[in-house]
Structure formats: structure tokens, C-alpha cells
Structure 1
């Protein structure tokens, strides 16, 4: 009951409750015996429209197709004097009446259903008004000359169920009364989804939540994110707004406005409509809003059309009518009363959600049989006169012959706005509702016949049936109707079907055609809950068959992301370029996304491109150049070694320890060759050997240089008389220096390999476009320990060589060692910042260059002068010449 109460204002709820209290508690209880209460005479104010057809069992009906303008009561005359003025008929809705009559006729003629029981019907109208809905519902229950609630004078009328009404207000005014008597009510309109808590209330339409889902799916399909809402100014409009607005937000859609519309049946005059026309019309002039959703009953749409027309007469230069209209299932295109002169061009291309239906050829044949001879049947006279704009001849009054109904009129000559020959969704629901009642009665008959005693006919059993006894069977009813569709209720007592989606085509003669272009059906096979055939849709001619756009601003193209505008709805935004390293591949992305680690953004930042695998290979110029240099220096070193071996007995080779010279040359050869470990695809073995081998062989080379320098210093110091350095002269000191310094570096490298060895690795981040295949040093600390120790040896060699640079040239290499160590230290001091500032294979090239340049410096500074004398000036390669040069 909480949901139901939320749909009613406090005033209307209080009035309804007061009416029920008066009717139900201040009047004697229901009695079927006429002798306990004398039925009064004729009602001085009878309800003017009804259709009664007798039968063993009666199906009641409350339809909605006639309305009056209800005027304010001033009590200057009897309040009922102007209760019924000239009626206005929504002629298109007369099909609802005919659908009920046709279904009853078809069942009575069917020997397979209720063959010994006839159905009748009693149909009233709700008049689009709450007061009259109460009145006609009570009239349906307690009809006689004058209705007295809770007294039933007509003993032949057995009301078994009631079908109605069209709108939510009508249905729930009815349920206030019918639920008290547990009479099954089968509503044929579309209502909010939660309102099913009344035990006697059944809905012949799908859950309206499916319609909400369908509208959202439609908006998302076409990318419409900026839409306008028109809703009725009543409780149903408030309910729709509260339920639908969150769905819009959850799906990235915004409502540009929500405009409330008063139903035309509740407006006293056109002047009132003119007062509100300006506010309703203004949103239509916003060219950014192309899509409008209209929720409400048909009179809501009729009022909107009239308002637009009135404004258009005074503002023709601002059409604003290149729009897409989305209409809900409660809304139908009708012409009635003062609006019959309007056309439908405004709604060309409109998309409507309609209650699912199947065409029934037999029903169309039934409609074709309707003719003026039906004048004595309920509602027919007023319908026919307003549909064909004629009057049936009254013998007692003079009549203009141009206005007399000729009897030649036919329903299929009327435009669809006045009457449709194809069964509508609501009529289809009424048709199924009658069959549901019939099948329920048939099921009860079959159930009771098994327990029936001999001589007790089933007809009598059904005549004595009480309405509340139908509920047990209604919930489980399921059958195939004449269209071949399965009809059943869900566990929420609503019809297990969906909504059709139609596209409206208009014609100049105020007629139109609705073409089915899709559907919303949660029970559809293969999970095809939402289907839209875009190619079948014909849009408003202003769009030139291009899919309309309805957004607050232009789309953010790929490569950009949305940036919300302050103070605006989230559908209104600016577009900003994606940050570095991110892309957007679609329009209107909230946030750019980062490319996978093995890809990088292209220039436009709308696509990720696979990164190239990068390492220093033998196929590129840097690799070829580095390998060529390393090979050249290696061959040159081998040549020097060969030269020194060939001239090993010459004084210049013998000077400063020949074995140490060979060791230094071999160490330099290994330094050049170690460069090849840095070229090519890094593997596990090359990564393990690369840095440790480089560190050890360079330490060996620098140790040999240090030993040479120390040997020179010690030799000259030992030549002084009484020098204590004589004992250090010899090969033992040299070997001790080389071995101790080299083993120390080897120990550092061993610890490195045992604790955190280098390994092959992929660097995804250093260079945006490349995946760098490299050797991860494992422990950066150990790597810099190796470099630091090598730098320590080089510094020591430089200091000693600098101190011995002025010793006699004939036995002194210190001057050349000094230059070589200066070059060596300069290279490796420059190496560290350069190595840290480069990335990828450039780091490898820097290290190879440092290895080759420092090794070449040692080779050139120390051995080039000696090779010059050995090869080019052999006359100087003797002891006398060397001593003479010094002298």
C-alpha cells in the first residue's frame, strides 16, 4: 500500500478515503435479496453511456473514450444540473468497446469453451475523471434504476470479473472498490511496475519496467544523450519522472528539461491552455535537443499538439519541429473535440512503444460489419455521430439534411486518427482478458465436474460461482489464443509479453501509418530482448534520412577525453587531448586508457601501435660499426703481440719486464673482444659474462700498467747507493701486484654472480616506441663496485706514473703510462653520467665506446712509441743508442 499511496496526493487520497467510508460503512451491508430493501425508482441523473448484454455470467468493463468538461459548481442551481454536458468522444478508443463485445461473441459461438454457459457483458465509461470512475464502478456492481451501494436488486446479474481501465488513475480508483469485494480486475492499460500489491488486480500488459529498459536501449543505440521529457501533470507523471531519471543518469543520458502538461479533458477553456503554452513551447526551440520522450495518456499528447499549434500560429519563423518523438505505450495518436483540425506532420518519423499485438483478421471482419443499425447498442450513437460528423435523424425535430447520417458510412473510410481497422495493443489486451476469464471459468468447470454428483448440471455450478473463486485459477492460466500466441501471467500477475516498437509515417490527409521496426521482449528466444531495425525507420524529412543527433555538445573524437563543465549536467562537457601514454578509440570516452605495456599511442592518440623490439644487433649501422672497431683493434693488438714476440730479444722489448708486457697486451686483446658480448640479442650466458668479464680483464690490464709503473719507480730508486729498495727489484713484486689486484676484482665479481647475477630483461618504459631487450644488472650496487674498483686502480696508476714521469726515457715508460691513464680516467669519468642519461641500445653503445676508447688509449700510448722504434727505427733499438739518447 506504500507504493500506492505514493502515487496519490494527500488531498485526492483523503477525498477517496472519505468517499469509501461513506459508501462502505454508513450503508447497510451487501444483500442479494430484494425483499430486505425496496429498490427505488428511476435515477433522476442516470449515467448516460453504457452497454449491457445479458448472459449467464457477466463480464464488466470500464473503458475510457468519452470525456466531458467538468465545470466548477457554484451552487446557484442544483449541483447535478450541468453534470453531463455535450460529450466529446475519442472515437479511436471505441475499438476497446468493440474488442470486448467481439471476444464475448466469439466465445459464445465456440462450442469448445463454456458450451453450456453464455457470457454477457456490462460496459461503462470512466469519462477520464476520478469522480465518475467511482460512480460508474459502483454502478457496475449495483446497477438498477438507481444505484444504492451494497444493495443488489438485479438477481439475474452475476458479475464475475471486470476489465479496465485504460490509465493508472482509472485503474486504481477502480481497485479501491473492487479489491474490497475480491472481484478480479484485469487492467488493459500500462502502469508503473511496483503497483501489484492488490490481490485482485491483474494486468493485461507487460511490466512497465521493460518499457523503460527499451527506451534506454533505444537512446543508447542511436547515441541520444540529451533528451527532453514531457510528462502529465499528475501522479503518474511524477512516478515516471522519479523512476526514469535515475535510469537516464546510470546510462550516461541527461534530460535537458522535464515539462509537465495538463490533460485537455481537465482544462476549462483554451485561455488556460494559452497561459501555459509559452512555457511548454520554449524547450522546442532548443536545436540541441532533437529527441523528446512523451509519457502519458493520449489526451496528454493531444494537449501537447494543440499547444504547439497555437504557438506556431504566432511564431512561424521558429519552427523547431525537426525532432524525434519517442512515445510510450499509454500514448496513442488521436483526434478529438477541438483538436480535430490538427494534422500529424509534426510527428513524422516518431517512434512509439506499443503493447504487443497480433493482427486478427476475424476482428477486422467484425469491424466491417458495424453499421448504423447498431444505434440501440451502447455508446454507438454518440460514437458514430462524432466519428462521421453527422447526426441521426430525429423524427420530432427539423434537421439539416447535410448533417444527417446517411447510413452509407463505413469504419474503414475513417483515418487512423479517428478509428483503426487493425487491432490496437489495448484492444488486443482486452480481447485476451475476455479469453482469460473464459478459460478460467472453463478450468473451474472441469475441476468441479470431477466432483459433481449426478443430476447437478455444471451450468448451475458456474452460475453460483463467486468472483473470489476465480483467483486460484487465474494465476496459473495459460493458453494459446486465436493468433497462436501463448497467453499467461507472470508471478507478478502481469502479462508475460513485451512491447512493439513502431515508426510513424504521416500523410497530408491527416492519416498515418505505424510500421513495426522492433520490439522489447524479455521472454524473446536467444536473449534478443531488444531489437531495432534501423534500416526500416523513416525519419522526419528535415533529417534527410540521416540518423538524428541529440547531444548537448559535439562528440569528443578519438584521441580526446571528456572534461566536465562546472555547473552543467554531465552530458555537457569539453574535450581535452589524451595525456601522454594514453589513447581513446571511441567517441565521448570519459577517460583515456593507457596502452598495454607492449604498445604505445600513435600520433593522434586514437590507436595503440605495437612496440618494436630493440637491441644492438649486427644488422644495424651502430652494431656493425662497433663490431668493426672491436675487430680492428683486436687484430691490431694481435699484430703488436706478434711484433713483440718476434723482437723479444731486443732491448726495447726486454725493458720493464717482457712478461708483464705480454700480459698487458693479452688483457687489452680480451678488453677489445669483450665488446662482442654487448652486441646481439642478450641471452642468459651473455648477460652473466658481459659485465664481470669486462671488469676482470680491465682490472687485469690496469693492474699490469700499475705494475709497470711501480717497477720503473722501484728500479730507479734501487740505483741509488745504499737504497733499501734493491730487495723489491725483480718479478715477484710485479706478479704480486697483478695477481692481488686482479683477484680482488674477480672476488667482487664472484660475489656479484652469487648474490644477484645479471639476467635478460625487457624494458617497456624507457623508450615509448620500443621494447628494449637488455641485461638487467641484478645488483646496481655491485656493478658500480666493479667500476669503482677499476677506477681506483686507474687512479693509483695515474698518480704513480705522474710521479715518475721525469725519470730517464731509456728505461722509463711512466710518461706514456701517465698519458694513457689520463685518457683512461677521462673516458670512464665521462662514462658514468653519459651512461645514466641514455636509454635503450644507446647505453650499450656508450659502454662499448668506453671500452674500445680506453683500451685503444692504453694500446696507443704505451705501445705505439715502441712499435715505431721496432718497426721504423730499428737502428735505435739497441742499448748504446738508448743510453746515448739519454746522455
Structure 2
């Protein structure tokens, strides 16, 4: 690139050197008169500043051909930087320890914020000619160049100066490309490059949790490179770009209106603008006319503290803007220096003359060498004007930022000159380790010392350049706040230090921020509202990842963070709470003694058990009475004892199951109940056999006897014992924690092991019950002395009805209710046997002893024909 630029400059110089005759009409490029000011010394520092700016592009219609004043407006902040250069040069002259006995001067030109002006000023500084000829080499009147203010004007300057490794230090150009030493070998700057500014913007947006932002840039390298870096940093941070538009370099009303409409209609409330103020002005003018408010503008340093947007028309639109500015510094004595300015003592200073006329709104009449006779004008300056006592609102003397960078740049050149002349820092670029004489060195030799300069300024701040020619990156965050005088003030509300730890890089004072109207709190800028814990994000089809829907986590899953992408499954013993934002331990469900249902069943079981025990006691005490003797009292004792055991079975079913209780509960219940039913069956069979055996010539006499009921009970019970032992041996019941049947609960239950064995056990018990019912039913009309068969019939009807109801109820419930159903069946069927068989006998024994006689029973036992 450097070679191509050299060839281009050589080609441009051909018409000036060659003897070429040009015939026909000739067109010429428009040019402007370049203003400059100098005070020469033994060593001079060049300066190129954007002291004037042109008309905003929106005010220049392309349909008209008229004279365009490029150097029209005079921003005071630019002049403040020029004054800082002059002040620093004069201050160095008074420092006995720095460049003593050497006169330091300066040569300054105004580029009018144009590339043409910057190039022409650079050529003048390189050649020392008022009308420079490209590629004409001679001794430069300056040793280094300070400037330019804009990246767009600094880049062509750096390309030209880089051909000769001529030192250039910019105080405001931030574009990242200028850190490339292959393209710009002699460029340095005292302002951080855009890479760090982009990092600062990304940190700022992440700090406020904004995830949906718009992005604008101008068409220069500064805007395009900076905005692309911002986009890259925001993408890394998970921030989505709602729109990305480029402000046209050539004014286009249609394009400007289009961008303004995008801003107005976008749901993004935060808009990052990486642009200079001149290119941005037309867009902001239209945006203000469209009354766009409620937006948070993030301003890059090129327009974060602008002169153009101080008008009233921008107050509503731009209030609350957050701007990124280089850190500020203090220049001791600078205020007093400004107060001492007087154009009458410096008649050659054209810039001071312009400044004076603007400040006091008058015309200076100063006689100089070129103007002998001055015409009289109205509103002539009186000559006694002074800046002393003025508020100097046009200068920001407490907010010196780029002005402070100029001050440090001048001192960097001075220290480098001092180091070069005094042979500091070891071997330099000179032969045999010699030192330079005041007038005997080349710019590239001085550049060696400037890039390695390292000193502490008067504020105690370290000044140096890294390998890319960049200073340490520190920024201030300013908030645009509307004052009572209807103007902006720029309040520092935070700072960014790229060298600090990650959690300390950005420090903010949020309480000091005044946001745009309509926002009392921190404005939100989201494509979609955040998903609260308990929900997860689902990206909307065709939209960026920041645009999503929130759906509740599935059953058994939680999300414990805002904006979770995935839901987490709870552990086996856990379950989501109602909001599904954390897992809670599942309730362990079993039929316990403490809960009402368990307490009621236990109370009933105890009552019936005590009742059975009382009846057994009564029967034992009254064992000699006819009622007890009737129908085999041994069977009655055994039946009552088995019923006691049946009621005791309830205790095995209630409480937390264990492996032992799981193996015992069903088998013990089955065997004991089989024993009870066997006793009932034996009693029924004894009644039938006894009645039939009493008939003459009965064949059943030989079966009547005390051994029959015992054998029958042993046989029927043994079959159930064999079934239960086989069950416990082959596939025994076991403890199981059921985590799936009931939502949010762990059912601690006994798994039956083999459902077939369980239902075989119940079926066998049911068969015995049906047989007992059938036999009792057939013998229900026997004589009254043998009326126990009638009561057995009632008891077995109750028993069969209960267990027939038990089956569907058992199958339709689970957990503790299934256990409760089985306990209820056990208790109610046992109570049916107890009441139906023994209640009539107890009535006779306890309440009607007159009926408890053999004569009464025999009398009652006569056959009825």
C-alpha cells in the first residue's frame, strides 16, 4: 500500500515537472485557503487540527451548485486543543530539566476537518513549502506531527508520513487499523484504540442486562471497523442485534428517512452509534423531527461530547445518552494561560483572532504587514476586552480529555528529544552509540525514541506507548443531562479500565444517571421478556436467539435460573415445587399410626380385639353352660383365638413397611384367615353331621366324633400354608419405593413379588368362604337347638360381601389407601364373623341366663312338622 501511494504521489507530481502543453478547456478542483500559525524555534513540532468544520451535509442540496464554505463553524473544543499544544510548548521552554538551552517552536495548520486539508497540511510540514509539490524532498521544518482529530483524516496522513517514518501522534483518532505497524509504521496516539472502546461498550450493555440493541455506524473506517468490533463483542456476550445500518457518506434523504423509521419502529430501546458527529447530524436531525424519545443512545467518543448537538431541538431526543469518552485529566496553569490571551499581543495568530471575534461578537482592527489601511466596520472590538472573569462556558476546562491527550503528546515528543540528545536508554539508531546533535538527525531516528518514551506527567500519570503505539486504555462514561438552562451537561457516571480485573473493569454510579423521558428506572431493551425460573426458553423460528417463547418445564423437571435454556430433571427422591424452580424431597407416603386414617383403623382393631378377648374369656368361664357346650366349644375357642390374631394382623399393615413386614403381612393374613374360615366350615359341617347322625339308620354316624373338625381344620389350613411357603420361597414380597405412580410422592409399599401367588392365596380363601356359606345356607333351617347354622350363614354372607367389594376397591387404589382398603376388609369381615356367630350366644349367657339351660334348649329343639 505504501509503495502504491508513493507511485500515486509521483504521478501527481508529473504535471509540475514535465513540459506538457495542455490545450482545450481545463477543469480545476475546488480548493480553499489554508490557515496556519507558527512560532519557530530550534526544534519545531507540527500540528494539524480540525479547527473549523463544514456545514452539516443535510443543509447542502445536491440540486444546487453554489459555493460551499468548508471552513464555516468554529468549535471551541478544537481550539482548546490547539491552545494546549501552545501552552505545553511554552511550559517546556520554562522547564530547566527538559530540553534546556533548546528553543522549542511549533507550526500549526487548520485542516477544516477535511482529508484534503489534512494532506495539504502534512505536505507543507514535510516540505516546508507554502505551496507544496508532492514528492519534493527537503529538510522538514518540524520533527514530529501532532494530529489529526478524526480517524478519517488521520489515516491518509499516517500513510503519507509512514513512507518516511515521520513521527505522528494523534490525540483523537481511534480506528483500530492505525495500530497496524505494517501499514502505519510511524503512527502513535495518546487515545486508546477502538478495540478497547468496543470492549467498553459491550461491558456497558452487559452491565445493564440489555440483550436487544440497534447498531449504527458511519461509512468511514472509524465507524465500520468500530461497529463490527462492537457487534463481535456483543455476540460473544449473547446480545442480539436488532438492526445494523450504515449512515451514507453522501447525503441521501431517502436513506436517512429509512434509517430514522427503523429506529422509531424498532423494539430495541438501546442504540449504539459508532460515528463522527458531522456524518451523524443529518440522521439525528430527522430523528428529532420525528419526535423519537425513550431511546438510550450509546455514543462512541467521536460524538459523545459534540458541538453540533447542543441545540434545543435535540434535547428531548438525546437526553439520557451514555457516551464513551477518554479519561479526563488536569492541566495545571492552563486556565490562567487562557485568561492571559490577547490578540493585540499576537497579531499574527489568525486562530486567536477568529476566536476573539466569536467570543466578543466584534471585529478586530489589527494593522499588520499586509493590511496597511483598514476599513472601518461597525461593531469593532474596543481593544480592552478580556477573558478574565468570564465563565468560559465555551471551554470545558474541568473536562479536559482530548485536550489532555494533546498535552501528553507534546510532552512525549519533548521527552523523546531530551532522551535522544542526552543519549538515554542505551544504544539508539545512531552509529557507534553516538548521540544526535540538535539539527543533525532524521525523523525516523527520533521516532525510535518516541515509541520507547516512558515518563510520569505532572499529574502522576504514567505515559508510554505499547508495541502497537497505543496508550493504556481508560475511559469515562458520561451521561447527557438537560440543565435548567436548556443545554446539555456531561456528567461522569462511571469509568472503564481495560487493565483491571474482569469484575473491576467497569465501575458505574447508576443512581446518578438521568434516563430519557418515560424511564425512571433502568430502561429494558429485550426482544422477549425474560423467562422466570420454572420455565425454559424456546427460540422463535427465524428469529435471533434473544427472541424466544417461555414454556413451563415438563413434569418432574425444574429450572432454577432466569432464562434457562434447558430444564433439569429432579433426582429420584426429589420433585419440583409448585413454581418448578427447585427440587424438594418427595413426601414419603405410607399408612402411618400418626395420621387420622391409620389411627382410626388401629382403634377399631384394638376395640374388636379386646371384644374378642372378652368373649373368649366369657366362653372359658362359662364353658360348662349348654350354650357354650353346644356345637363344639373347642371350635369356638379356636375361632375366637384366630379372630384375635386376625385383628392383630392390622398392626403389620400400618406403619413404615420393612422387608420383614412385607414378607409377613400377606402370608400371615392368609394363613390366619384361612384358619378362621376353616373353623367356621368345621362348625358348619359338625352341625350338619350331628343333625343327620341323630336320625335312625344314618350313614353319617361313623363320621361323627371329635376328630373330624380337627382333621378338617388341619387339612384346609395346611393347603394355605403350603401356598404361602411356596410364595415366600419362589418370589417373596419385598419393600419397594414407588416414585412414579403418584406425582411428587414416594410411595413406600410392599411389592407382592408374585401377583399370581397373591391372588391364588385370596382365591383359596374365597373358595373356603363360599363352601362354608353354601353348607351353612343349606343347614339354616335345622331345629332351633342347632340354630348356629343360621348365624354362620349371616356371618359368611357378610364375609363374602366384604371380600367381593374388596377386590375392585383394592385394584382401583394405590399407596396407603390400598393398604387401608385391605385392613378395612380384614377388620370388617372379622367383625362380621364375631358379631353374627357369637353375639347371640353372649346375649343368652350374659342377659338371658334362664335360656342357658338344657331343658330350655331341648324344648326349643323339637321338630316342627
Q: Please, what TM-score do these two structures have when normalized by structure 1?
A: 0.77
Match of 2:385 in 1: 408
Please tell me whether the aligned partners of residues 211 and 353 of structure 1 are also in contact (alpha carbons under 8 angstroms).
Answer: yes
Please tell me whether the aligned partners of residues 495 and 506 of structure 2 are also in contact (alpha carbons under 8 angstroms).
Answer: yes
Taking the aligned partners of 1:120 and 1:764, their CA distance within structure 2 comes to: 89
Judge which range, 356-365 or 866-875, deviates more: 866-875
Residues 196 and 403 of structure 1: CA distance in aligned 2, closer, same or farther (over 3 Å): same
Please tell me whether the aligned partners of residues 126 and 132 of structure 1 are also in contact (alpha carbons under 8 angstroms).
Answer: yes
3-state DSSP class of the match of 2:302? coil
Please tell me whether the aligned partners of residues 56 and 158 of structure 1 are also in contact (alpha carbons under 8 angstroms).
Answer: no
Q: Does 1:111 align with 2:90?
A: no
Please tell me whether the aligned partners of residues 226 and 254 of structure 1 are also in contact (alpha carbons under 8 angstroms).
Answer: yes
Match of 1:293 in 2: 272
Taking the aligned partners of 1:59 and 1:532, their CA distance within structure 2 comes to: 39
- Superposed CA deviations along residues 443-493 of structure 1, whole A, max 9, x for unmatched, are 5566558779xxx99874565454445666666654332222233445554
Match of 2:735 in 1: 758
Taking the aligned partners of 1:450 and 1:548, their CA distance within structure 2 comes to: 56
Q: Does 1:626 align with 2:601?
A: yes
Match of 2:490 in 1: 514
Taking the aligned partners of 1:851 and 1:118, their CA distance within structure 2 comes to: 118
Post-superposition offset of 1:797: 0.9
Post-superposition offset of 1:799: 3.6
- Please point out which of 811, 817, 834 is paired with 1:833: 811
Match of 1:211 in 2: 197
Match of 2:124 in 1: 139
- Please point out which of 327, 330, 334 is paired with 2:302: 330
Q: Does 1:374 align with 2:346?
A: yes
Taking the aligned partners of 1:245 and 1:252, their CA distance within structure 2 comes to: 10
Post-superposition offset of 1:102: 2.5
3-state DSSP class of the match of 2:129? coil
Post-superposition offset of 1:133: 3.2
Please tell me whether the aligned partners of residues 581 and 601 of structure 1 are also in contact (alpha carbons under 8 angstroms).
Answer: no
Judge which range, 438-447 or 480-489, deviates more: 438-447
Larger radius of gyration: 2
Match of 1:315 in 2: none
Match of 1:393 in 2: 365
Taking the aligned partners of 1:765 and 1:389, their CA distance within structure 2 comes to: 90
Taking the aligned partners of 1:116 and 1:885, their CA distance within structure 2 comes to: 157
Post-superposition offset of 1:496: 1.6
Post-superposition offset of 1:354: 0.8
Post-superposition offset of 1:356: 0.8
RMSD of the TM alignment (CA)? Answer: 4.8
- Please point out which of 118, 142, 147 is paired with 1:164: 147
Taking the aligned partners of 2:321 and 2:605, their CA distance within structure 1 comes to: 79
Please tell me whether the aligned partners of residues 667 and 698 of structure 1 are also in contact (alpha carbons under 8 angstroms).
Answer: no
Post-superposition offset of 1:500: 0.5
Please tell me whether the aligned partners of residues 354 and 500 of structure 1 are also in contact (alpha carbons under 8 angstroms).
Answer: yes
Match of 1:643 in 2: 618
Post-superposition offset of 1:290: 4.8
3-state DSSP class of the match of 2:132? coil
Match of 2:320 in 1: 349
Residues 633 and 709 of structure 1: CA distance in aligned 2, closer, same or farther (over 3 Å): closer
Task: Give unmatched runs, 5+ long, in structure 1.
Answer: 1-12, 29-43, 72-80, 313-317
Match of 2:224 in 1: 238
Q: Please, what TM-score do these two structures have when normalized by structure 2?
A: 0.78
Residues 643 and 527 of structure 1: CA distance in aligned 2, closer, same or farther (over 3 Å): same
Post-superposition offset of 1:499: 1.2
Please tell me whether the aligned partners of residues 698 and 790 of structure 1 are also in contact (alpha carbons under 8 angstroms).
Answer: no
Please tell me whether the aligned partners of residues 371 and 407 of structure 1 are also in contact (alpha carbons under 8 angstroms).
Answer: no
Please tell me whether the aligned partners of residues 539 and 545 of structure 1 are also in contact (alpha carbons under 8 angstroms).
Answer: yes
- Superposed CA deviations along residues 206-249 of structure 1, whole A, max 9, x for unmatched, are 34344334434444555555554443244433334433345556
3-state DSSP class of the match of 1:635? helix
Post-superposition offset of 1:751: 5.9
Taking the aligned partners of 1:411 and 1:261, their CA distance within structure 2 comes to: 43
Taking the aligned partners of 1:246 and 1:656, their CA distance within structure 2 comes to: 100
Please tell me whether the aligned partners of residues 70 and 112 of structure 2 are also in contact (alpha carbons under 8 angstroms).
Answer: no
Taking the aligned partners of 1:520 and 1:669, their CA distance within structure 2 comes to: 85
Alignment of 1:299-314 (within 5 A): 299-308=278-287, 312=289
Please tell me whether the aligned partners of residues 478 and 488 of structure 1 are also in contact (alpha carbons under 8 angstroms).
Answer: yes
- Superposed CA deviations along residues 119-175 of structure 1, whole A, max 9, x for unmatched, are 4444344433334433333332232344344543237x462x433332322232223
- Superposed CA deviations along residues 801-831 of structure 1, whole A, max 9, x for unmatched, are 2442314753758635642541342243034
Match of 2:659 in 1: 688
- Superposed CA deviations along residues 5-56 of structure 1, whole A, max 9, x for unmatched, are xxxxxxxx9xx9865322268989xxxxxxxxxxxxxxx9896233444445
Residues 116 and 857 of structure 1: CA distance in aligned 2, closer, same or farther (over 3 Å): farther
Taking the aligned partners of 1:360 and 1:65, their CA distance within structure 2 comes to: 21
Alignment of 1:219-234 (within 5 A): 219-222=205-208, 224=210, 227-234=213-220
Aligned residues: 811
Match of 1:152 in 2: 137
Taking the aligned partners of 1:559 and 1:125, their CA distance within structure 2 comes to: 63
3-state DSSP class of the match of 1:374? coil
Taking the aligned partners of 1:20 and 1:107, their CA distance within structure 2 comes to: 36
Match of 2:162 in 1: 179
Judge which range, 698-707 or 640-649, deviates more: 640-649
3-state DSSP class of the match of 1:89? coil
Taking the aligned partners of 1:473 and 1:854, their CA distance within structure 2 comes to: 109
Task: Give unmatched runs, 5+ long, in structure 2.
Answer: 15-29, 58-65, 368-372
Judge which range, 710-719 or 119-128, deviates more: 710-719
3-state DSSP class of the match of 2:275? coil
Alignment of 1:588-599 (within 5 A): none
Please tell me whether the aligned partners of residues 230 and 292 of structure 1 are also in contact (alpha carbons under 8 angstroms).
Answer: yes
Please tell me whether the aligned partners of residues 339 and 386 of structure 2 are also in contact (alpha carbons under 8 angstroms).
Answer: no
Alignment of 1:544-563 (within 5 A): 545=520, 547-548=522-523
Please tell me whether the aligned partners of residues 411 and 419 of structure 1 are also in contact (alpha carbons under 8 angstroms).
Answer: no
3-state DSSP class of the match of 1:515? strand
Taking the aligned partners of 1:723 and 1:478, their CA distance within structure 2 comes to: 132
Taking the aligned partners of 1:581 and 1:150, their CA distance within structure 2 comes to: 79
Alignment of 1:466-477 (within 5 A): 466-469=442-445, 477=453
- Superposed CA deviations along residues 184-219 of structure 1, whole A, max 9, x for unmatched, are 433322534465322534342234344334434444
Match of 2:24 in 1: none
Match of 1:23 in 2: 9
Taking the aligned partners of 2:768 and 2:659, their CA distance within structure 1 comes to: 29
Taking the aligned partners of 1:724 and 1:430, their CA distance within structure 2 comes to: 134
Please tell me whether the aligned partners of residues 268 and 525 of structure 2 are also in contact (alpha carbons under 8 angstroms).
Answer: yes
Please tell me whether the aligned partners of residues 344 and 511 of structure 1 are also in contact (alpha carbons under 8 angstroms).
Answer: yes
- Please point out which of 174, 179, 186 is paired with 1:196: 179
Please tell me whether the aligned partners of residues 564 and 572 of structure 1 are also in contact (alpha carbons under 8 angstroms).
Answer: yes
Residues 704 and 573 of structure 1: CA distance in aligned 2, closer, same or farther (over 3 Å): closer
Match of 1:484 in 2: 460
